[in-house]
DNA sequence: TGTACATCAGTGAACGCGCGTTCACTGATGTAC
DNA sequence: TGTACATCAGTGAACGCGCGTTCACTGATGTAC
């Protein structure tokens, strides 16, 4: 190896380098302009090299999508870590984290949710996506509490929470939420938090007064 | 012309035929597999012919997206037409129409909301998208009523309504709402209606009792 | 009603492009002895 | 500690492909007179 010049025949960790390059490629070119050759070039390697690490271009995209779900979870956790520990505020924080991730990783978000290119049957991707979904359920269950209406009600709560956060993210990252920006006296986070709060399941949203009636 | 064989040198309305072909192409190949040559072939015309009707492939995609917004509005109106005329049920009906459209036009929906290919600056597309947005505002305003909290509140109501319907549609059309399907005793429509109802602005959702306090 | 002619809307051959992928190869690495 | 050798991870040339687009053309249409 030749650590001083940075050039060496064997790369060391080309797989990782290609993943990093793939993210940049995705961010700059979008899904529609993503090419394997572009990733190889960004990683400083010949365009035939990736074949040793990924079966084909969709293999790289699948790995990127899987990593995306891990990072989506991390973004939600990051917001939760700095929020108060009530189930309701944890729910809202997770929603804001979902939005953070979408806005910061537009093309990756679309790759994960609106593309057919990744192989969603692959174990790696299925595991990461399932882990994210499990966390969503956990957050909703914490705020909804044990509900006598059972699992079907919980699943509708989950769907509502996910759809609200996902819809906001998807629309925001195509600049379709600009009409919200002119909020007087509220920060962008506060506006989104207020909207996300509307999808808190009603088991927990009822006030003490209305609950007693 | 040669109406009996169906073959003639001049097509008659190739622009319309290309739009129809484009929708089929979109449905069968998706955005990522969409080609101008494919559309020309479907329309039974040489692959150079479309140049006389659309500047380039993005021109056709732009026209398809614009028509998509018109049809999205029509889908919402169709649901509203068969629903009761209360603002709340009209709101829910419109949401179900939004879902109908997304599920029935998956790739077109993605073209309209998750692609950079159409020219969103074109007058045609801007007009259709703006018309759809205006209708959304009208529906939300009808259900929210005159709210002393003013326009910022209305815009948040609009954002919540749109995000909920859009999130449900986007997730449903990538098969991510399957966990909802096992609903006991509720039709799919009823499940979605219940979820959409959660995004009804609170101005109208308050019961008569709680409003009086 | 007929004719000349401009215009329109097609055809099909050809171009250049960038892509994914394959291939024979070669340099680097690590291990058995 | 050396050496032989298998294996791994790169290179770069080449391939075929389908694409969007251009071009000279031609058939059809419609209108002026």
pLDDT (tens digit per residue) in B42-99: 999 999 999 999 999 999 999 999 999 999 999 999 999 999 999 999 999 999 999 9
Q: What is the pLDDT of residue B196?
A: 98
Q: Cα(A206)–Cα(A203) distance, rounded to whole angstroms?
A: 6
Which residues, 6+ apart, have CB-to-CB distance to B30 below 8 Å? A116, B107, B110
Question: 0.85 cut: is pTM over it?
Answer: yes
* Residue B27, both tokens: 């449905």
Does residue A163 belong to the interface with chain B, where contact is any CB pair within 8 Å? yes
CA to C1' distance (Å), from A49 to C23: 13
**CB neighbour burial string for A136-148, b if at least 16 within 10 angstroms, e if fewer:** bbebbbebbeebe
Q: Which two tokens stand for residue A44?
A: 């400083």
Q: Do the Cβ atoms of B163 and A184 come within 8 Å? A: no
Query: Does the CB of A9 have a partner CB in chain B at under 8 Å?
Result: no
Sign of CA dihedral A179, A184, A187, A190: negative
Longest dimension (CA), chain B: 75
pLDDT at B201: 95
Checking if the pLDDT of A11 tops 80, the result is no
Mean pLDDT of B175-182: 91
d(CA A183, CA B152): 6
Q: Within 10 Å of residue B169's Cβ, how many Cβ atoms?
A: 26
Give the count of beta carbons closer than 10 Å to the beta carbon of residue A74.
11
Q: What one-character DSSP code corresponds to residue A51?
A: G
B66 close to B124: Cβ distance less than 8 angstroms: yes
Residue linked to tokens 């070039």: A41
pLDDT at residue B203, rounded to an integer:
72
Instruction: Answer whether A198 sits within 8 Å of B160, measured CB to CB.
Output: yes
Residue of A148, A145, A129 lying closest to A200 (CA atoms): A145
Q: Chain A contacts of B198, Cβ < 8 Å?
A: 160, 198-199, 202
| Three-class SS state of B184 | coil
**DSSP 8-state symbol, A50:** G
- Alpha-carbon span A17 to B202, nearest angstrom: 50
Q: Extract the tokens encoding B68.
A: 């998509």
pLDDT, tens only, A26-64: 999 999 999 999 999 999 999 999 999 999 999 999 999
């Amino acid at each position: 190896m030749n650590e001083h010049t940075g050039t060496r025949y064997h790369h060391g960790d080309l797989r990782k380098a290609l993943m990093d390059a793939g993210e940049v490629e995705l961010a700059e070119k979008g899904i529609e302009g993503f090419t394997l050759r572009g990733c190889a070039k960004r990683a400083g390697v010949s365009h035939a090299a990736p074949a040793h690490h990924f079966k084909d271009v969709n293999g790289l995209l699948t790995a990127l999508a899987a990593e995306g779900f891990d990072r989506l979870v991390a973004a939600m956790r990051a917001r939760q870590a700095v929020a108060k520990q009530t189930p309701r505020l944890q729910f809202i924080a997770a929603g804001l984290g979902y939005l953070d991730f979408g806005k910061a990783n537009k093309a990756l978000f679309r790759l994960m949710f609106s593309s057919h290119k990744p192989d969603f049957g692959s174990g790696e991707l299925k595991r990461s996506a399932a882990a994210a979904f499990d966390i969503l359920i956990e957050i909703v269950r914490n705020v909804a509490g044990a509900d006598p209406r059972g699992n079907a009600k919980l699943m509708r709560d989950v769907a509502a929470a996910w759809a609200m956060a996902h819809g906001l993210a998807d629309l925001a990252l195509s600049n379709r939420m600009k009409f919200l920006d002119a909020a007087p006296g509220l920060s962008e986070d506060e506006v989104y938090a207020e909207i996300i709060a509307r999808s808190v399941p009603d088991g927990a949203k009822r006030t003490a007064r209305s609950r007693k009636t």
